[in-house]
Amino acid sequence: MNDISNPSPQEYYAIIETVLEEARRLGADAAEAALSLETGLSVNVRLGELETLEYHRDKGLGVTVYLGESKGSASSSDLSRAAIAETVRAACDIARYTGADPCHGLAPRERMAWDYPDLDLDHPWPIDAQAAIERALACESAARDFDRRIVNSEGASVSSHRGLHIYGNSHGFIGGYPSTRHSLSCSVIGEQDQAMQRDYWYSTARDPAQLLAPEEVGRIAAERTVARLGARRLGTRQAPVLFSAEMAAGLIGHFLRAIRGGALYRQASFLLDSLGQSLFPHWMQMSEQPHLPAALGSAPFDNEGVATRPRKLVDDGVLQGYVLDSYSARRLGMETTGNAGGVHNLVVEPGEQDREALLREMGSGLLVTELMGQGVNGVTGDYSRGAAGFWVEHGEIQFPVEEITIAGNLREMYRQILAVGADVNPQRNIRTGSILVQNMTIAGE
C-alpha cells in the first residue's frame, strides 16, 4: 500500500473525486464511492512449528450511482483511471436497467460528517515476521506447558492490520481515516479419561500496547480448557442461566438484529412496532457510543458519510430508537440513525457485581461459556442453541457440562434479565458484562 500515515492522503481523495466527476459526466443524478486499502501480517503456529505466514495488501473501490430513483453499483480492485471510468460506466449501465425505488438515494446532505473528531484509531505496529512468530510460539508454549492434560493444540496466531477508509458523495462530502487492528489468540486441546475438550482465548486492540502478553493469552486458553475436562450431561430441567460476558454479547446481538431497519421494513422481526415499549427490566440501559477513543467499534461517520453520535438505545428498559441507514429509514418513514454498516460501540450499562457475585445470586443454575448452532428465529424470537458451560449449586461451580440445549423466547428472556455483571469485555463492539436470565429450558438427557 502507498503511504497511509497521513490521515488524509490526497492521492486517494483524488480517486473519489474522479469517480464523482465521471458519474456526473455520464448523467448520474447522484453518486457515492468508497475506497478501502489494507496491509497486514498474519502468523499461525502449531505444536511449536510455523504453519502459515501471510502478508496482505488489498484495495477496493465501490461505486454507486443514482439515475432518478434507480440505483446501480459496481466495484473494482484496479485503481487506474481507465478502470475507474469502466467501473462508473458499469454502475450507470446497471442503474438504467433496474427498477425505480423512491427510497433510493444519498443520505441527507445536512447529516454528513462535515467536521469529525480524531478518535485515536490508528496505532501501527512495527512488528516483523520473526517477532510475530516468536510471540505466537510463546503464547502456544505457555498454554501447552500449563498442565500435563493439555495434549494437543489447534495453534496460536498473531495478526496486525492497518487500513484506510475513504468515502465521498456528490453532496461534496469526502472523508477518510486510517485505523489499525491487532490480535493474538490461542486454542488448545485437553484430555482426561479418554475424553477431550478444547477452548481458546484471545486479545484484540487497535493499540498493540493494549494487547495481553502472549503468555497470559496462552495461560487463559489452557486454564479454560482444563476447566472443561470431565464434562457431564444434565437432565432436562428449568433453571436460571448466566451467560458469560462473551456469550452475553451474542444475546444482545440478537436484539440489535431485531431492531435493524432491514428486518423491520421486511416485517421479519419479533420486535416490530416496539419503539417506546418496555422490553427490558426498568433498570436496564444501553447506549451507542461511537466516539470512544481507540475502541474497536468507534467511527466518525457511517458507510454513507452520516456523522455518528452518541445516543441512548434503551433507557430504563424502554426502546428509544432503531438501527437505520438512509434507505431503511425512508422505507419506515423515519430518519437515518447513522448506522449504515451497523452499530458503533453498543454499551450495556454494567452492574456492580462480578461474575462470582452473579453466581452467588443465581444460587443454582447454568453458567454458559459456549454456544453452538444457529437456532434463533428472528421473526418469532424463538431461541434454541447447543451449549456448554458449568453447573452451579449454592453459588459455586460444581462441574462442567456439555451436549445440552438451552431454549426460550428472546422477548421473554430480555424481560427476565435479573442482572448485568461488571465483568465487561472491552475487546468487542458490543460491550456487556455477564447477563443473568431468570429461567430457561435446559434440554439434556
- pTM exceeds 0.85: yes
Predicted confidence (pLDDT) at residue 7 exceeds the cutoff of 90:
no
* Across 42-51, average pLDDT: 98
Q: What's the rounded Cα separation, in Å, for the pair 435 and 445? A: 26
* Across 403-412, average pLDDT: 97
pLDDT per residue as tens digits for the range 91-138:
999 999 999 999 999 999 999 999 999 999 999 999 999 999 999 999
* Across 307-314, average pLDDT: 98
Band (312; pLDDT cuts 50, 70, 90):
very high
Burial class (CB in 10 A: 0-12, 13-18, 19+), 247: buried
Q: What percent of the chain has pLDDT over 90?
A: 96
- At 145, the amino acid letter reads D
* Across 398-425, average pLDDT: 97
Domain ranges of the chain: 10-227, 237-443
Residue 273: other Cβ atoms inside 10 A: 9
Q: Any bridge partners for residue 192, and if so which? A: 195
- Which residues lie closer than 8 Å to 337 by C-beta, 6 or more apart? 311, 321, 322, 323, 324, 329
Q: What's the rounded Cα separation, in Å, for the pair 212 and 222? A: 15
pLDDT at 4: 45
pLDDT per residue as tens digits for the range 47-100:
999 999 999 999 999 999 999 999 999 999 999 999 999 999 999 999 999 999
* Across 320-329, average pLDDT: 98
Q: What percent of the chain has pLDDT over 70?
A: 98
pLDDT per residue as tens digits for the range 260-290:
999 999 999 999 999 999 999 999 999 999 9
Predicted confidence (pLDDT) at residue 2 exceeds the cutoff of 80:
no
* Structural element, H or E, at residue 24: helix 10-25
Band (164; pLDDT cuts 50, 70, 90):
very high
Predicted confidence (pLDDT) at residue 306 exceeds the cutoff of 70:
yes
pLDDT at 374: 86
CA-nearest of 110, 72, 98, 121 to 304 is 110
Superfamily classification of domain 10-227: PmbA/TldD superfamily (3.30.2290.10)
pLDDT at 5: 42
Given a contact cutoff of 8 angstroms between Cβ atoms, the answer to whether 423 and 439 are in contact is: no
Higher pLDDT, 390 or 7: 390
Predicted confidence (pLDDT) at residue 339 exceeds the cutoff of 50:
yes
Q: Strand, coil or helix: what is 388?
A: strand
Q: Strand, coil or helix: what is 83?
A: helix
Give me the chain's average pLDDT, please. Answer: 96
pLDDT at 11: 87
| Sequence-separated contacts (24+) of 126-132 with Cβ below 8 Å | 127/41, 127/158, 127/160, 127/208, 129/41, 129/43, 129/53, 132/41, 132/43, 132/158, 132/160
- Backbone φ and ψ of 175, nearest 5°: -145, 155
